Amino acid sequence: MTDSITCRTFRKEDEKAVRELVETTFPFFSVGQFWDWKYLQNPSFDRSFVAVAEENGKVVGCNHWLPRTIKLSDSITAPALLGANIAVAPEYRKRGVGRALINFLRSQHVGENRPLMYMFADPDLRKRFHTPVAGYIPAPCGSVLFTKILNWNKVKANVAAFNERVKHGEFKDRLAGVDVTIAFKAEGAPLLCLHLDRSGVETDVSTQDAQVTVSSDMATFSKIRGDRSSWRMFVRPLLTGRLRIRGSPRKMMMINRNMWVFKEILSKKISQVQ
């Protein structure tokens, strides 16, 4: 970046220039009063989290951050900063303006009080800018998998459909002798406890009645699927500690033999039922 371009904190008189720059850079969603709604009218808006780059009094770039609180567990939260819109005028791109804006805000706000900063980026732009230039580290994405696989309301709808098939005589032989209650504890998702017997699957069972408890993160749960119900799908997550199973060996073997039931109600194909 040339010495003639400097970064500073956003000021009241920058509003018009910044709004126009953002709306020009992001025309597909930043139209009308979007900038005002997202920032100026936001109850938690803080001008110190917006930086501008200027040359000879002209605003040529801007970067907006938003203060957030990240919930890491039921009892642990952490103050954080969400990196939002970063915009640079076309004629000033590839001159280090974006990097300078991010580093300016880092120097102002990232530290002991706010140690965590994150953002949601376009995958292609992340490879070209956010990781090599701005230093962001890509994190595994589990949110999409959670929506598609671990939506318990969809699971319950799948269970109802499965039980209807049982009532009409399907799976009679395959469910003979089955009697087991299993609790799923997925980080970031509500508890789900199911009871499986010859009459089908029962939901909303008390976790106190669980004979087997399976605990893991959302991404691991979503991967424990496949065309075959086999103990092999559990080996790696068990060895790495990402999957934890507690219960009597007999009940766990019963679940393994009837893994097809859980695939029916938890699989990607079935979970798309509305």
Query: Is residue 199 very low, low, confident or very high in pLDDT (cuts 50, 70, 90)?
Result: very high
Judge if 5-139 and 145-271 fold alike in CATH terms: no
How do the domains of the chain map onto residue ranges?
Answer: 5-139, 145-271
3-state secondary structure the chain: CCCCEEEEECCHHHHHHHHHHHHHHCCCCCCCCHHHHHHHCCCCCCHHHEEEEEECCEEEEEEEEEEEEEECCCCCEEEEEEEEEEEECHHHCCCCHHHHHHHHHHHHHCCCCCCEEECCCCHHHHHHHHCCCCCCCCCCCCHHHHHHHCCHHHHHHHHHHHHHHHHCCCCCCCCCCCEEEEEEEECCCCCEEEEEECCEEECCCCHHHCCEEEEECHHHHHHCCCCCCCCHHHHHHHHHCCEEEEECHHHHHHHHHCHHHHHHHHCHHHHCCC
Most confident of the ranges 1-15, 50-64, 173-187, 250-264: 50-64
Q: Residue 245 in contact with residue 171, Cβ under 8 Å?
A: no
End-to-end CA distance of the chain: 52
Query: Is residue 227 very low, low, confident or very high in pLDDT (cuts 50, 70, 90)?
Result: very low
Query: Is residue 269 very low, low, confident or very high in pLDDT (cuts 50, 70, 90)?
Result: very low
- Identify the residue with better confidence: 117 or 234: 117
Q: Residue 57 in contact with residue 16, Cβ under 8 Å?
A: no
**How confident is the prediction for the chain on average, in pLDDT?**
80
CATH of domain 5-139: 3.40.630.30
CA–CA dist 185, 189 (Å, integer) = 7
pLDDT tens for residues 6-26? 999 999 999 889 988 888 888
Query: Is residue 217 very low, low, confident or very high in pLDDT (cuts 50, 70, 90)?
Result: confident
What pLDDT is recorded for position 144? 41
In this structure, the dihedral spanned by the alpha carbons of residues 163, 165, 166 and 172, taken in order and rounded to 10 degrees, is -150
Check pLDDT > 60 for residue 149. Answer: no
What pLDDT is recorded for position 273? 32
- Identify the residue with better confidence: 20 or 189: 20
What pLDDT is recorded for position 148? 42
Say how many CA atoms lie within 13 Å of 190 toward its Cβ: 12
- Identify the residue with better confidence: 111 or 87: 87
Percent of the chain at pLDDT exceeding 90 = 22
The arithmetic mean of pLDDT across residues 221-228, rounded, is: 56
Check pLDDT > 80 for residue 158. Answer: yes
Query: Does CATH number 3.30.1050.10 belong to domain 145-271?
Result: yes
The arithmetic mean of pLDDT across residues 137-150, rounded, is: 53
